[in-house]
Amino acid sequence: MQKTVPPGSRPETLLVHAGTLRSEFNETSEALFLTQGHVYETAEECERRFSGEEPGFLYARFSNPTVAMFEARMAALEGAGAARATASGMAAVTAALLGQLKAGDHVVASRALFGSCLYVIEDLLPRFGVPSTLVDGTDLDQWRAAVRPETRTFFLESPANPTLEVIDIAAVADIAHAAGATLVVDNVFATPLWQKPLALGADCVVYSTTKHVDGQGRCLGGIVLASADFIAAHIHTFLRQTGPAMSPFNAWVMLKALETLPIRIERQTQSATAIAEALAGHRNVARVVYPGRADHPQAEVIRRQMTGPSTLLALEVAGGKAEAFRFMNALRIARISNNLGDAKSLVTHPATSTHQRLKPEERARMGISEGLVRLSIGLEHADDLTADFLTALDAI
């Protein structure tokens, strides 16, 4: 008999215990089941497994004990009925959309999106007969005006990458449902700790678990979470038959990383809050956008829908690209990278990296200026980081 955690256990408890499947050896730490498949005692058992009459694992493209533990633990944290892990965050985003859509459907999405999400919605879906409309996600009238009779899905990211603009998820969910559409939320920037899109009315949540969930720069991964009905209707068969599965090894790394997720996110958020305050008044800073600050443009929405701010902040260096580059090059602790959510503090210049593909006017419309630098705050001491950022700002 496997023990289960009591109902109502808090995230810290769930993330250490939920979903654990112990083998016949009763190991303490979750086992890594590095196997493609499983053997059956009899042909009859194999037949029953394939018919679904008897539960059990079959083949790692769609089920593996280590991946199942990771999925169950993430579902417990998110309060989701079911979850499916994927090879990367983009595989999760693509499955959440393609799994629901068919030619003739229409998608509405916020414009401030991670570059690859924008590619799927703006370039890929239309090639298969699914046109899309991009809106300013913070303007609810634009969501309403974009709806067509054939609108099937809304997609948004909040806080958005890299501008940290925040969208009213409950209000957008209401507009989607009134139109007979579903809402998919990319919750990477909020993390599963600080925002629960399903509780706010979203139908499906996706993560790149490459980011805060691993949080130590090792493995790619993603996950789709929703009600059991939604996963059964739209996601399960799509992933099973098309194959972007998470490897058992990556699932094991992420499963163990979940044990420390709350202490990492809390510390990184605390440091980000302190750093946002320390940098805000500097003469070489035009603007700091941080969901924990009273001057955030959507501070009122943040109070209603988030229980904590973010480990990320957007810093607009006064001047432009040259000044932003001088700032980044002068840093001695924070490193230049396009990644985020890591134990190592990382800085990104979106205009020349993650969002380089966009035309300058598209970047301007998304609020990505030439001076904008995205800071992902890690686990180094907040005072060391603050000193590093201030020294680099002085050096501009």
Ligand X SMILES: *Cc1c(COP(=O)(O)O)cnc(C)c1O
Q: Which chain residues interact with ligand X by CB under 6 A?
A: 88-90, 93, 114, 116-117, 157, 161, 186, 188, 208, 210-211, 220, 222
Q: What helix, strand, coil percent values describe the chain, rounded to 5?
A: 40, 15, 45
Cis-peptide into 159, omega within 30 deg: yes
- When the beta carbons of 211 and 363 are compared against ligand X, the nearer one is 211
Question: What is residue 262's DSSP assignment?
Answer: H
Let me know: does 78 contact 192? Beta carbons within 8 Å: yes
Please identify, using beta-carbon distances, which residue of 114 and 290 lies nearer to ligand X. Answer: 114
- Unique residue bearing structure tokens 């730490």: 29
Decide whether 88 or 132 has the Cβ nearer to ligand X: 88
CB of 333 to ligand X, least distance (A): 22
DSSP H or E segment with residue 382: helix 382-394
CB of 381 to ligand X, least distance (A): 25
Q: For 189-277, list the strands marked E by DSSP.
A: 204-208, 222-226
Compare residues 203 and 214 and give the one whose CB is closer to ligand X: 214
In this complex, which beta carbon is closest to ligand X, that of residue 70 or of residue 114? 114
How is residue 57 written in tokens?
């694992």
What the block records as the tokens of 245 is: 């599965």
CB of 334 to ligand X, least distance (A): 18
Distance of closest approach, residue 279 Cβ to ligand X, in angstroms: 22
Residue with smallest beta-carbon separation from ligand X = 89
DSSP-H helix ranges across 1-153: 11-17, 43-51, 65-78, 89-98, 115-119, 125-127, 140-146
Q: Which residue lies nearer to ligand X by CB, 223 or 396?
A: 223
Comparison of 14 and 185: residue with beta carbon closer to ligand X: 185
Residue 90 or 121 having the CB closest to ligand X: 90
Provide, rounded to whole angstroms, the least separation between the CB of residue 221 and ligand X. 7
CB of 343 within 8 A of CB of 378?
yes
Rounded least distance, CB 116 to ligand X, Å: 6
Residue 41 beta carbon to ligand X: minimum distance, rounded to whole angstroms: 39
Residue 341 CB, nearest approach to ligand X (Å): 8
Asked whether the beta carbons of 284 and 317 are under 8 A apart, the reply is yes
What is the closest distance, in whole angstroms, from the C-beta atom of residue 197 to ligand X in the complex? Answer: 13
The residue among 250 and 284 lying less far from ligand X, judged by its C-beta, is: 250
Sheet containing 285-289: give its strands across.
Answer: 285-289, 312-317, 372-376, 346-348, 335-336
Say which DSSP state 351 is in.
G
Q: Give, in order, the Cα–Cα distances in Å from 34 to each of 210, 244, 247, 248, 319.
A: 20, 17, 8, 6, 52
How near is the Cβ of 283 to ligand X at its closest, in Å? 31
Question: In 102-201, which ranges are continuous DSSP H helix?
Answer: 115-119, 125-127, 140-146, 169-178, 191-194
Q: Bridge partners of 374?
A: 314, 348
Which C-beta is closer to ligand X: that of 20 or that of 208? 208
Sign of CA dihedral 67, 68, 71, 73: negative
